[in-house]
Amino acid sequence: MYWYGKIHLHKLVVFFDLLLLVFVYTCFAYVDKTLESDLSDTLGIGLCKSYWIYFFIGYLVRKYDLAKLLDKYNSIFSIAILSYLPLFYAYENGIFVRFCQIVPLTAIIVLFYLFRARKHVFSFMDRLLGDIGRCTLDIYIYHYFLLRIINLRFIDGWLRQTSNYFFETILFVCIAVMVCVLCMMIGKVLRKSQIVDKIVYGNFK
C-alpha cells in the first residue's frame, strides 16, 4: 500500500510538471500572438516561447535524474544522431516547420551525450566549456540583447543564397562563441554591483 501510494504520488508530480510546461508555453504563445510584433520582439516574448521548452526539459532532466537514461540506453543517442540530418533537411524544406523544436532537441541529446562521456576528461577545451557552463545564466539573460545588435537576418539571407552548410556552421559557431564571451564579461562586470546582483541574480545573502 505504501509503495502504491508513493508511485501514485510520483505520477501526479510528473503530470503537474508536464501541465506546467504546457501552460506556460501556451501563455507565451498567446501573449506573443496578441501583442504587436515590435513590442513582442522588444520584450523577447517570442524567444521566451521558443526557449521555454528546452529550459523546462533541462529542469526535468535534473529533477528526475534522466541523464542516467543516456548511460543505460545508448539507443537514445543513436536515434538522435541518425535522425538529426533528415529532420534538419525536412525543416529546411518546409516539411517539419510546425514541430521544429524536435530538430535542435536531437542535437542537444547528441551534445549532452558527448559531454557526459567526457566528464572525467580535463583538457583545456573541457575546462573552457566548464567555465562557460558556470556562466549559463549570464548567457541566458544577455544574449538576446547582443543578438538584437547583430544583423542576423542579413547574414541568414546571404547564407540562404550560398547554401554552404559547412561555412554556415563555422560562421555561427564563431558568432556563438563571441556572444557567449561577451555575455560572461557583462555578467562579471554587473555582478560587482550589489544592487544588480540582488535584482538580476537574486543573491540576497
The string of DSSP letters for 140-190 reads: HHHHHHHHHHS-HHHHHHHHHHHT-HHHHHHHHHHHHHHHHHHHHHHHHHH
Question: Is this structure's pTM higher than 0.75?
Answer: no
Give the integer Cα–Cα distance in Å for 71 and 171.
32
The identity of residue 83, as a single letter, is S
Residue 2: the pLDDT is 43
> Using one digit for the tens of pLDDT, what is the confidence trace for 39-82?
777 777 887 888 888 888 888 888 888 888 877 888 888 898 89
- Upper half-sphere CA count for residue 186 (Cβ side, 13 Å): 18
Please state the three-class secondary structure of 6-38 as a single string. HHHHHHHHHHHHHHHHHHHHHHHHHHHHHCCHH
Residue 94: the pLDDT is 75
Give the integer Cα–Cα distance in Å for 114 and 108.
10
- Residue 198's alpha-carbon distances to 95, 114, 117, 151, in angstroms, are 45, 35, 36, 32
Show the low-confidence residues of the chain (pLDDT under 50): 1-6
